[in-house]
Amino acid sequence: MEHKPVLYKEIIHALQPQSGGHYVDGTLGAGGHARGILEACTPDGQLLGLDVDPHALALSRETLAPYDGRIHLVQASYITITQQLAALKWDFVDGIVLDLGASSMQFDNAERGFSFMQDGPLDMRFGSNAFQSAEDIVNTYDERDLADLIFRYGEDRDARRIAKAIVMNRPLRTTRELVAVIEKASPRRGDRTHPATQTFQALRIAVNEELASVESVLPQAVAALRSGGRCAVISFHSLEDRIVKDYFREQSKELVNPPYERIYEVERKAVVEIINKKPIVASDEEVKDNPRARSAKLRVIEKL
């Protein structure tokens, strides 16, 4: 199935790519957003594209082949963006897009272990940079750490029960085995969400250190933008969105009052302007066409 870029028009509108500009797509995936950016900055805008997943990179290479000479694709985490820009000798860039999380290609491939709907190995690594798989976590963490992880990253009220059941049924090797354990420990509560949704989200976040990665990339992205340059971030769950929202808000403030210093205010000019006060979400039409877009939230800032 072809990957449909989420909030595609909105991303192009937010970045307003121009000929001659330099852009970064930190999460290439199938290259959908990247292609739109390259198309919009014809004839000579350039794009640096990153992804940790070698399959995503190979696919983007194909998708973006028509733009050869204007693209620089690297298999690397977006947390290395500063290094990657230095390697290209790009001092500043005009736009950065981050479309966080997993792609539908990754979800749809049972072998990657992201989906609780299909049977596959408990892997969940976006790329080989992850130092542990979901199988490692599920089979080696102690019960309390597992419960904390499922509660913190999955926000699941049944975290303790699920963790206990996992520990009692180890070793678990496949997604189907894990789903069966979760279904027993935390039966459906009448809502439409499958009981394994949150545990799978939690494991994926932990395996790929997703929240720490977002925390690391945002200051680098803001620093890399030239004045008037824009950064657009799409997140798919509230934990991620909160990090983006709070960081952008903090960088848009004129004054920062450190909590430990009540007498002297540290004066600082705002670094960015928030372009959309409320996050941009997908239209009903897009959600109908692509259900994954339902939870997408786009936040855009402009460097002052």
Ligand X SMILES: C[S@@+](CC[C@H](N)C(=O)[O-])C[C@H]1O[C@@H](n2cnc3c(N)ncnc32)[C@H](O)[C@@H]1O
Packing angle between helix 81-88 and helix 210-224, nearest 10 degrees? 40
Q: Pick between residue 26 and residue 154 the one whose CB is nearest to ligand X.
A: 26
Largest CA distance in the chain: 60
Number of amino acids touching ligand X (CB under 6 A)? 24
The 45-64 site mask, x for binding ligand X (CB under 6 A), equals -----xxxx--x--------
Tell which one of 17, 45, 49, 101 touches ligand X (CB under 6 A).
Answer: 101
Tell which one of 21, 31, 49, 113 touches ligand X (CB under 6 A).
Answer: 31
Regarding 103 and contact with ligand X (CB under 6 A), the answer is: yes
The 127-166 site mask, x for binding ligand X (CB under 6 A), equals ----------------------------------------
In 3D space, the residue among 29, 25, 26, 24 whose CA is nearest the CA of residue 1 turns out to be: 29
CB of 31 to ligand X, least distance (A): 6
Residue 303 near residue 220, CB atoms below 8 Å: no
Give 17-75 as a 3 state SS string: CCCCCEEEECCCCCCHHHHHHHHHCCCCCEEEEEECCHHHHHHHHHHCHHHCCCEEEEE
CB of 29 to ligand X, least distance (A): 2
| Cα 149 → chain centroid | 18
**Number of residue whose CB is nearest ligand X:** 29
Peptide bond into 171 cis (omega under 30): yes
Regarding 213 and contact with ligand X (CB under 6 A), the answer is: yes
Q: How far is CA 246 from CA 214, 226, 249, in A?
A: 12, 21, 5
Interface residues with ligand X (CB under 6 A) are: 3, 5, 26-27, 29-33, 50-53, 56, 77-79, 99, 101-103, 126, 208, 213
